[in-house]
Amino acid sequence: MSATRYTYLGPEGTFTEAALRKLPEAATRELVPMVSVPAALDAVRSGDAAGALVPIENSVEGGVTATLDELATGEPLMIYREVLYPITFALLARPGTKLSDIKTVTGHPVSQPQVRNWLAANLPDALWESAASNADGARLVQEGRFDAAFAGIFAAATYGLEPLVTDIHDAENAETRFVLVGRPARPAAPTGADKTSVVIWLGEDHPGALLELLQEFAVRGVNLMLIQSRPTGAGIGNYCFAVDAEGHVSERRVGEALMGLRRIAPKVRFLGSYPRAGVAVSDVREARAGTTDGEFMAAADWLARVQDGRF
C-alpha cells in the first residue's frame, strides 16, 4: 500500500481537492485526482492509496448518492475524518468572454440546484449540461465545449479561465461535508465530540420495521444526525439506511445500540467512529440521564449481583 498517497474526486481544481488541502497531513502526501468517487475509493481498496477524500453530504442537496452507495457495497472501507467546506461558485469563462456571450453552461449535477435562481435571473436562456465535476466543467470550457462553468474560483488559474461573476449561491452558508476514507482498522480513540456512521439493511417489510431500527438508538439516548434511505438493487421496496449518530462506538450507549441493530437487522455495516468537524467538546450536549457509561456499568454490576444471588 502507498502510505503517502491520497486520492480525491478530480480533476485538479475541485472543491474536493480544496477540502483535502485543509487536512494538515495533506502537505506530506501525494494528492492524486481520480475521475470519479468509485475510482478514488477503489484505489484505497486495491492498496494504491492510503486514503481517499470524497463528498458525502451537501447542505442544499443532501446525501451524495455515489459515495453513500459505494460505502454501502463492495469491499468494506472506513471513515477516519470529515471536513466541512463552504461552497460558493464563480462563473468561469475563457478570457474575453462577456456575460452576454454565454449560451451554454456546465458544472457538477449537485451544483445546479445551488445556482438555479441565479441562472434564472441572469442567464435565463443558457443551456445547462452536467459535467463529472465542477473542475471538469472548467476543463470543458477551456477546450471550447461550453461557454462557462460554475466552479470554485481557485479553478480559474488551473484552466486558464477568468471569473466573470464570483460569490454565486442561492443558499446562504451552503457547505459540503467530505470524508477521508481508508481501509478498516481499529477506530481512533474517542475525542468527546465524535460521530458514528453505519449502514443498516431493513429486514422483512412490515408496519413499524423502520421504527424498530430507530428505537435501538432512541431507548439508549443516542441522537441521530442523518438518516437516508438508499435502494439495495434487489427490487422496488428493498432499502438500506445510511445513519450518522452522535457518539463513539466505544461508548456503551452507542455500542449497545449497534448490538441491538445487529440482532434485528439482516445486515449492519460499520463505517467508522471519527471526530465531528467544527464541533468542540464543550459544545456537545450531555448524555441523557440513564445513558452514560457509568450508568450502563452500574446496571451491569447490579444484574451480575442478581444473577449471583447477592441482591
**pLDDT tens digits, residue range 221-249?**
999 999 999 888 777 778 899 999 999 99
CA distances from 160 to 32, 107, 130 (A): 21, 17, 20
Please tell me the least confidently modeled range out of 91-95, 145-149, 171-175.
171-175
Range list for CATH 3.40.190.10 in the chain:
1-85+173-185, 89-168
- What torsion do the CA atoms of 281, 23, 64, 121 make, to the nearest 10 degrees? 100
CA distances from 177 to 64, 181, 209, 214 (A): 10, 13, 29, 24
The CATH architecture annotation of domain 89-168 reads 3-Layer(aba) Sandwich (3.40)
pLDDT at 209: 84
pLDDT above 80: residue 270: yes
Instruction: Report the topology of domain 186-311.
Output: Alpha-Beta Plaits (3.30.70)
pLDDT at 127: 96
Please give the CATH number for the structural domain made up of 1-85+173-185.
3.40.190.10
**What is the mean predicted confidence (pLDDT) over 135-155?**
96
Contacts of 109 (CB under 8 A, 6+ apart): 130
Q: Which residues of 178-208 are buried (b: 16+ CB within 10 A; e: fewer)?
A: bbbbbbeeebeebeebbbbbbbbbbeeeeee
270: which 3 cell numbers?
Answer: 460499520
**What is the mean predicted confidence (pLDDT) over 141-164?**
96
Range list for CATH 3.30.70.260 in the chain:
186-311
pLDDT at 311: 75
pLDDT at 233: 76
**pLDDT category of residue 91 using cuts at 50, 70 and 90:** very high
Element (H, E) at 37: helix 37-45
pLDDT at 2: 67
- What torsion do the CA atoms of 36, 42, 47, 49 make, to the nearest 10 degrees? 20
83 and 34 Cβ atoms separated by less than 8 Å: no
Record the pTM.
Answer: 0.89
pLDDT at 90: 97
Please tell me the least confidently modeled range out of 50-54, 101-105, 225-229, 245-249.
225-229
pLDDT at 238: 82
